[in-house]
Structure 1
Amino acid sequence: MTGQIDVVGDDVTLRALTWGDWDDRDAPVAVCLHGFPDTAHGWRKVAPQLADAGWRVVAPFMRGYAPSSLSAEGSYHVGALMDDALRVLDAAGPTGRDVIIGHDWGAIAATGLAAMPGSPFDKAVIMSVPPSAAFRQRSDMARLAAQLPRQLRRSWYILFFQLPWLPEQSAARVVPKLWRDWSPGYDGAEDVRLVLDAIGAPERWRAALGYYRATVRNSRPPARYAELHRHWLSAPVLPTLYLHGTDDGCASSDYTEWVRQVLPTGSTAHVIDGGGHFLQLDQPAATAERILDFIGSGR
Structure 2
Amino acid sequence: MPSVRTATLDIAYEASGPEGGPVVVLLHGFPDDVRTWDGVAPKLARAGCRVLVPWLRGYGPTRFLDPATPRSGQQAALGADLLAFLDALDIRQASLAGYDWGGRAACIVAALWPQRVRALVSIGGYNIQDIAAAARPASAMAEYRYWYQWYFHTERGRFGLAQNRREICRLLWQLWSPNWRFDDPTFARTATSWDNPDFIDVVIQSYRHRYGAAPGDPALAPIEQRLALQPPITVPTIALEGAADGVAPPPQADPDAHRFTGPYRRRLVPVAGHFLPREAPDAVIDALLELGAAST
- In 1, distance between residues paired with 2:84 and 2:105? 13
Q: 1:206 aligns with which of 184, 198, 201?
A: 201
Question: Structure 2 length normalisation: TM-score?
Answer: 0.85
- In 1, distance between residues paired with 2:45 and 2:253? 28
2:242 maps to 1:282: no
Q: CA deviation at 1:239?
A: 2.4
Match of residue 58 from structure 1: 52
Gaps of 5+ in 1: 138-143
Structure 1: which amino acid aligns with 2:237?
T
- In 2, distance between residues paired with 1:280 and 1:5? 23
Match of residue 140 from structure 1: none
Residues 111-151 of structure 1 show CA distances to partners (whole Å, capped at 9, x for unaligned) of 211211554112222113643579999xxxxxx99x72221
Match of residue 156 from structure 1: 147
CA RMSD in angstroms, aligned pairs only: 2.7
Structure 1: which amino acid aligns with 2:74?
H
Q: CA deviation at 1:91?
A: 3.4
- In 2, distance between residues paired with 1:155 and 1:122? 33
For the 8 Å contact 1:172–1:200, the answer to whether it is kept is no
Q: CA deviation at 1:201?
A: 5.8
The DSSP-based 3-state class of the residue aligned with 1:277 is coil
For the 8 Å contact 2:236–2:291, the answer to whether it is kept is no
Q: CA deviation at 1:102?
A: 1.6
Q: 1:41 aligns with which of 24, 31, 35?
A: 35
- In 1, distance between residues paired with 2:74 and 2:152? 15
- In 2, distance between residues paired with 1:135 and 1:63? 21
Q: CA deviation at 1:101?
A: 1.5
From the superposition, tell whether residues 20 and 201 of structure 1 become closer, same or farther in structure 2 (CA, over 3 Å).
closer
Q: 1:116 aligns with which of 108, 112, 116?
A: 112
Q: 1:20 aligns with which of 7, 14, 17?
A: 17
Q: CA deviation at 1:247?
A: 0.9
Q: CA deviation at 1:244?
A: 0.4
For the 8 Å contact 1:70–1:207, the answer to whether it is kept is no
- In 2, distance between residues paired with 1:33 and 1:287? 12
Alignment length, in residue pairs?
A: 284
Match of residue 141 from structure 1: none
Q: CA deviation at 1:155?
A: 1.0
Q: CA deviation at 1:156?
A: 0.9
From the superposition, tell whether residues 221 and 183 of structure 1 become closer, same or farther in structure 2 (CA, over 3 Å).
same
- In 2, distance between residues paired with 1:265 and 1:136? 25
Match of residue 297 from structure 1: 294
Match of residue 125 from structure 1: 121
Residues 148-205 of structure 1 show CA distances to partners (whole Å, capped at 9, x for unaligned) of 2221111111111111144333312210000011111323334432332111466433
Q: What percentage of aligned pairs have identical amino acids?
A: 26
2:15 maps to 1:32: no
Match of residue 94 from structure 1: 91
Structure 2: which amino acid aligns with 1:128?
G
Q: CA deviation at 1:69?
A: 0.9
From the superposition, tell whether residues 28 and 77 of structure 1 become closer, same or farther in structure 2 (CA, over 3 Å).
same
From the superposition, tell whether residues 10 and 131 of structure 1 become closer, same or farther in structure 2 (CA, over 3 Å).
closer
